[in-house]
Structure 1
Amino acid sequence: MAQQTGGTPRSRLHRIGSLFSNRYGRSTGNRTSSLEVAVVESIAEVRKAQWNGLVERSSRGSVFHRYEWLEAIETGLGYQPRHLTVTKDGNTIGAMPNFVVEIEKTPFDRLSSLYPGFGGPLLPTDTSDSLDRILGAVPAVCRGTAIVHQIRGLDTGYLRYNDAFQSAGYRPFRRECRFLLDLTKGHEGILADMSRTRRRGIERGRDGDVEIVEEELTRETLSRFYRTYERVMERVGGSVYPFSFFEALQEFEDRLLFVTLRIDGEYAGGMLELLDDERDSIHGFFAAVPREYFDDHASELLYDYVFQWGIENGYETYDFGSTNTDFEDGVFRFKEGFGGRAVPILVWERGCSPLWPLVKAGRALYWPYYT
């Protein structure tokens, strides 16, 4: 997958398969066919069609694995890529995207597969040997200020790798969940399963002068959305992604649903949703509603519109995104009220430095139930 022709900067490509060739070489007939692992330090070194073809062939592939999402993270957020690819006889047969991301409240980083979003290995063929190769290569790329490797699986399908992960030194880490809403039961079924509060919010919101518009991703529409997003994140104490990330997502427009709400003719917020055609799911990634429109039930109206859009366009689930696993948390209760099913976010961690146990112990002071 990492190209070495046509002007590709070889200095950014590191092949480490030779470190493991004696252990992992495979015999095929009268010749030896070995697997090699390469470290790709920019997604630009990879052909888009080749990478996305691998995503589409893998049963674990998702919108978060796609070239365009990785490119937006690299160029829009500035996170350093350390993607791993597996080749066999010169053909790419597997991959695991990784980015170096800071560990909050510390001077250290983690190697994450992946963030923002969800990652993990893509291994449609030679799965066992490829997984061994990729996991064996992690210590060589988890270096410098990166003291831990973290794998964030999108769904419970990644449990198929749990034993292999733990055998390689990974340990489960659980502190977040997602709410998944079944869109296949239809709009009336969704409304019937909502809490009375959410359902009445939608009903009351419809009584006003409201209009929901599907917007194009232009600098103007994104700037207006971003200004509201900044205010919302600052109010709740959340991390604010730079505007450059939203600009980078314009290259991914065919996988985005961007809707905004007007109440009495005035802008009342919006939602930027990620369309996961690989999983027939819609991911609620960015929502920005000003506080002054809470009483107009702006959030409920936007969610209800997206639910109906998803049903009409053949999507099977709506994913509300990550939330803390605390039933007293306001965000948890708000999402729960729409009737979705809570599922854990599957995370495995593997220390890459003697400093990791110390940082992990310090983390337990903030999250005492997750060590």
Structure 2
Amino acid sequence: MGTLSAVKTKLDSRTRPGIGERTRETNTDYEVTVHETIDGIDRSRWNHVIAHAKQASVFHRYEWLEAIETGLGYTPNHVVVTKDGNPIGILPNFVVDLPKVPFQRLWSTYPGFGGPAITTDTAETLDAILETIPTLCTGRTIVHEIRAHDTEYLQYSDVLRSHGYRPARSKGRFVLSLTDGYDQVRSGMSDSRRKGIEQGKAHPYEIVEEELTRATLERFHRAYERHMEQIGGDAYPLAFFENLLAMDSRLLLLTLRLDGEYAGGFLELLDDEQSAVHGFFAAVPEEYYDDHASELLYDAVIRWAIDNGYDAYDFGGATGDFRSGLFRFKAGFGGELVPNLYWERGDGLRWKFVTAGRELYLRMRR
């Protein structure tokens, strides 16, 4: 990938753009670079920002972004703000196709959650990031979208609006507080969830915390593909999971065996930044539903998270429709329905065409 042209590029040895990097000088104190690959960015300096930025999460970490780029093939446009040569703010982004139209969106972050991660000089750093985004939305890329998981991002709402962003979509996920211990969690479950756990335990079963290897991931992935096919979802390729091995300290792989037979499992993300465990990948084939496999696995991972000092368990996406079976299933564990935060910034006739089509589609569905 060749070196990209720069806007007001500094050409000294410290700031010369690297491969796949654009540089923009905002003033004498701040500099913005855009990276079309995470390769070449210093891992420790990137993760240092994540460790000290209040809203940052496991989805901001270098290893997660590297797995997306390498395993899924999405093109990054990561924005980094430095002051006196030190990174103080980042916004990870990937270029992703828009469904059903020949255009693309710049998304922070997909898969997962994103948004700006800033350690200091918040107002100046946020402005520097947001002023850079329009230069990245060119050609087929017609909109920038932020999908954030932390309601702390609401403090940026007015600044985002001043830069042309608008709130978009209403979805959420169930988040279960673990701070009062397992007995309190269990008392908050519905009767049907507690009954399902007990019925699952009535039969011979074993839940194992697996060592993370290519072999254990391959076995999990086979069950995961079956699970996604059965629920009508799109499965991520094995290459993505193999690249996640670089962040094995942030993964938990639980395997369920029923009567000695492999019955799927969960691959969890450990979000030490937010003291949460994310239920991001499930692999429970439908032939084990009647054995209450999911209840057994959720019960085990909740206990594991409490034992290891995490404050919350995140069940992942909820449809926003209380009539959905998946919605009711997750709600039965007693978690709080927490909104995901979406902001969009799009320009031009093509974006207006796409948004009009989306509104028409949603009206027809209703």
Matching residue within 325, 330, 346 for 1:335: 330
* Equivalent runs, 1:65-80 vs 2, <5 Å: 65-80=60-75
Return structure 1 stretches of 4+ with deviation > 6 angstroms: none
Q: 1:278-322, CA deviations, whole angstroms, 9 ceiling, x for partnerless residues?
A: 110000000110111111100000000000000000000000111
Report if aligned partners of 1:83, 1:98 keep a CA contact under 8 Å in 2.
yes
Shift of 1:230: 1.0
Q: TM-score, normalised by structure 2?
A: 0.93
Shift of 1:10: 2.0
Q: Secondary structure of 2:39's match? A: helix
* Structure 2 letter corresponding to 1:302: L
Matched, 1:193 2:227: no
Which residue does the alignment assign to 1:350? 345
Shift of 1:369: 10
Taking the aligned partners of 1:369 and 1:149, their CA distance within structure 2 comes to 26
Which residue does the alignment assign to 1:97? 92
Which residue does the alignment assign to 1:13? 21
Which residue does the alignment assign to 1:267? 262
Taking the aligned partners of 1:144 and 1:81, their CA distance within structure 2 comes to 16
* Equivalent runs, 1:10-159 vs 2, <5 Å: 10-17=18-25, 21=26, 25=27, 33-159=28-154
Taking the aligned partners of 1:279 and 1:304, their CA distance within structure 2 comes to 21
User: Residues 295, 304 of structure 1: CA spacing in aligned structure 2 closer, same or farther, 3 A cutoff?
Assistant: same
Which residue does the alignment assign to 2:274? 279
Q: Secondary structure of 1:159's match? A: helix
Report if aligned partners of 2:51, 2:273 keep a CA contact under 8 Å in 1.
yes
Shift of 1:368: 3.7
Matched, 1:165 2:160: yes
Shift of 1:102: 1.4
* Structure 2 letter corresponding to 1:361: A
Taking the aligned partners of 2:278 and 2:345, their CA distance within structure 1 comes to 27
Taking the aligned partners of 1:336 and 1:159, their CA distance within structure 2 comes to 24
Which residue does the alignment assign to 2:319? 324
Q: 1:121-147, CA deviations, whole angstroms, 9 ceiling, x for partnerless residues?
A: 111111111111111110111222211
* Structure 2 letter corresponding to 1:66: R
Shift of 1:109: 1.3
Report if aligned partners of 1:148, 1:353 keep a CA contact under 8 Å in 2.
no
Q: Which runs of 5+ in 1 are unaligned?
A: 26-32
Matching residue within 214, 219, 227 for 1:219: 214
Q: Secondary structure of 2:54's match? A: coil
Q: Percent identity?
A: 56
Q: Secondary structure of 2:334's match? A: coil
Shift of 1:9: 7.7
Taking the aligned partners of 1:221 and 1:344, their CA distance within structure 2 comes to 34
Matched, 1:231 2:226: yes
Taking the aligned partners of 2:73 and 2:212, their CA distance within structure 1 comes to 21
Taking the aligned partners of 1:336 and 1:43, their CA distance within structure 2 comes to 37
Which residue does the alignment assign to 1:181? 176
Q: TM-score, normalised by structure 1?
A: 0.92
Q: Secondary structure of 1:106's match? A: coil
Shift of 1:5: 7.5
* Structure 1 letter corresponding to 2:21: L
Shift of 1:16: 2.3
| Equivalences, count | 353
Taking the aligned partners of 1:266 and 1:179, their CA distance within structure 2 comes to 30
Which residue does the alignment assign to 1:29? none
* Structure 2 letter corresponding to 1:249: L
Matched, 1:292 2:287: yes
Taking the aligned partners of 1:81 and 1:63, their CA distance within structure 2 comes to 17
Shift of 1:82: 0.3
Which residue does the alignment assign to 2:308? 313
Taking the aligned partners of 1:68 and 1:198, their CA distance within structure 2 comes to 35
Taking the aligned partners of 2:271 and 2:234, their CA distance within structure 1 comes to 24
Shift of 1:171: 0.6
RMSD of aligned alpha carbons: 1.7
* Structure 1 letter corresponding to 2:18: R
Taking the aligned partners of 1:62 and 1:193, their CA distance within structure 2 comes to 27
Taking the aligned partners of 2:121 and 2:17, their CA distance within structure 1 comes to 29
User: Residues 363, 158 of structure 1: CA spacing in aligned structure 2 closer, same or farther, 3 A cutoff?
Assistant: same
* Structure 2 letter corresponding to 1:324: T
Report if aligned partners of 2:17, 2:23 keep a CA contact under 8 Å in 1.
no
User: Residues 113, 313 of structure 1: CA spacing in aligned structure 2 closer, same or farther, 3 A cutoff?
Assistant: same
Taking the aligned partners of 1:252 and 1:272, their CA distance within structure 2 comes to 13
Q: Secondary structure of 1:231's match? A: helix
Q: 1:184-239, CA deviations, whole angstroms, 9 ceiling, x for partnerless residues?
A: 12111111111111110001101110000111222221111111111111122212
* Structure 2 letter corresponding to 1:15: T
Taking the aligned partners of 1:113 and 1:5, their CA distance within structure 2 comes to 30
Which residue does the alignment assign to 1:30? none
